[in-house]
Structure 1
Amino acid sequence: MKLGPSLHRIGNHIIAAYLIDTPEGVTVIDAGLAGLWHDLLAELDTMGRTVADIKGVILTHGDSDHIGFAERLHRDHGVPVYVHSADASRAKGGPKPANAKQTMRFGATLGFFAYSLRKGGLRTTYLTDVVELHGGETLDLPGQPEIIALPGHSEGSIAIFAPVADAVFVGDGLTTRHVLTGTKGPQPAPFTDEPEQAVASLKALISTGATWVLPGHGDPWSGGIEAAIAAVEKAAAPAG
């Protein structure tokens, strides 16, 4: 799905990944689930591109529904995979903290798990080799993506700002559709390690001034980063 001249999405509002397309090649942001491989190839074809044009994969964090086809790209095509050092172990199949009990609605939760199964959620291939990030880098990849530390959802969560696309990719730093309840609009994401820290970390994104806010779950948001953060903060505020 083309969002703009340099910006494409694969997947859907349940689980999504993104492509930054420039004359220098393609940067992939997140890798969804293993079954999104076919979506990736189809989208590249519509762009007039091939896997050979992919210069790097940047993971917003190391959860299994974001690393999907990353190892395949690295193993079979030599594409480097970037992840924050604090999430490198998670991306390699290491332990992750247990989260608090989640609010769920049957239909939305069933849809999430059904889609995950259909797209290979039970055949995750963890990473074997990564390029570790620390936050603050501008990578020499198509779109010159800027790495912004965004701890909270996980210790090593990051956002990626791509000026060429006027977009900030937030992973699970926020969501625009809660996968367990179906609630729409910018809000805190479920399965978050440190919920209060995750909301506070979003302030680091204001300086990007990005129009597009692109989460790993939910529809793309084109209302600007400040409005998205304000909506998250409102949703996170205690009732009353």
Structure 2
Amino acid sequence: MELAPGLHRIGNDIIAVHLIVTDEGLTLVDAGLAGHYADLRRELAAMGRPVSDIRGIVLTHGDTDHTGFAERLRAELGIPVYVGAGDAGRAMGEKPPATPKDRRRLGPVLRFFAYAMRKGGLRMPAVKEVVPVHDGDVLPLPGAPEIIGMPGHSPGSVAIHVPAVRALFVGDELTTRNVLTGVVGPQPAPFTDDQAGSSASLARIENLDVDWIIPGHGAPWTRGVPALVAAYREAEEARSAG
């Protein structure tokens, strides 16, 4: 689905993958689950672009619901997989630490896991080779994505700023739809390693002027970063009070 010229979305508000589209090639942001590969192929066919036009995959972090089909593209086509240096091990199969138990409601939890199973969530191949990236890097890929270090959800979580399409991809540093409760709107994401660190990391993006703020789970936000952060802080306070 085209969100804006040069910006396409694959998946839905439960789990999403995004494409930066230029005449010179494509950059993939996250790789969802293994079953999203078929959705990627359909999207590319509708655009009239071959898979070989993908020049690189940039992961917001190394969790398995973001690495999905990355190894397939790397192994079959030699497409490089970029990930924050602190998450290189996680993307390559290291088990993440246990996180505090998050609130949950049965209906949203069942929908999340049912969707994940339909999209190959039981087959989660690790990426065998990654290219570590760091805060401030500008990657040699279509759209010239800029890396912003955002530790918190995981040690190597990053935001990906793509001025060419006025978009900021924030991975799971926040969510606009909690997959465990169904609550919508900007808020802390579940399964976060370090919530205090995640909250502090939002200061890294507060001054960015973008049209699209795109989380890994939930609808894109189009009302600007200040309103996003304000809504997040309100939800964070309500969570602490409750």
Q: When the two structures are superposed, what TM-score results if normalisation uses the length of structure 2? A: 0.97
Within 5 Å, which residues of 2 pair with 1:31-180?
Answer: 31-180=31-180
Cα distance in 2 between the residues matched to 1:5 and 1:34: 26
RMSD over aligned CA atoms reads: 0.9
The answer to whether 1:187 aligns with 2:217 is no
Alpha-carbon shift at residue 23 of structure 1 (Å): 1.2
Displaced runs of 4 or more, over 6 A: none
2:20 corresponds to: 20
Q: Which amino acid aligns with 2:49?
A: R
Partner of 2:213: helix, strand, or coil?
strand
Partner of 2:147: helix, strand, or coil?
strand
Cα distance in 2 between the residues matched to 1:174 and 1:236: 11
For the 8 Å contact 1:146–1:162, the answer to whether it is kept is yes
Q: May I ask how many residue pairs the two structures share in their alignment?
A: 240
Alpha-carbon shift at residue 203 of structure 1 (Å): 1.3
For the 8 Å contact 2:27–2:143, the answer to whether it is kept is yes
Q: Which amino acid aligns with 2:200?
A: A
Q: Which amino acid aligns with 1:171?
A: G
Q: Which runs of 5+ in 2 are unaligned?
A: none
| Deviation per residue, 1:93-142 (Å, 9 max, x gap) | 11211101110000000000000001000001101000011111011100
| Deviation per residue, 1:179-233 (Å, 9 max, x gap) | 0000001111000000111011011112321120101000111111221111111
Cα distance in 1 between the residues matched to 2:156 and 2:193: 11
| Deviation per residue, 1:2-40 (Å, 9 max, x gap) | 000010010100000100001111000000000000110
Q: Which runs of 5+ in 1 are unaligned?
A: none
Q: Which amino acid aligns with 1:143?
A: G
Q: Percent identity?
A: 56
Q: When the two structures are superposed, what TM-score results if normalisation uses the length of structure 1? A: 0.98
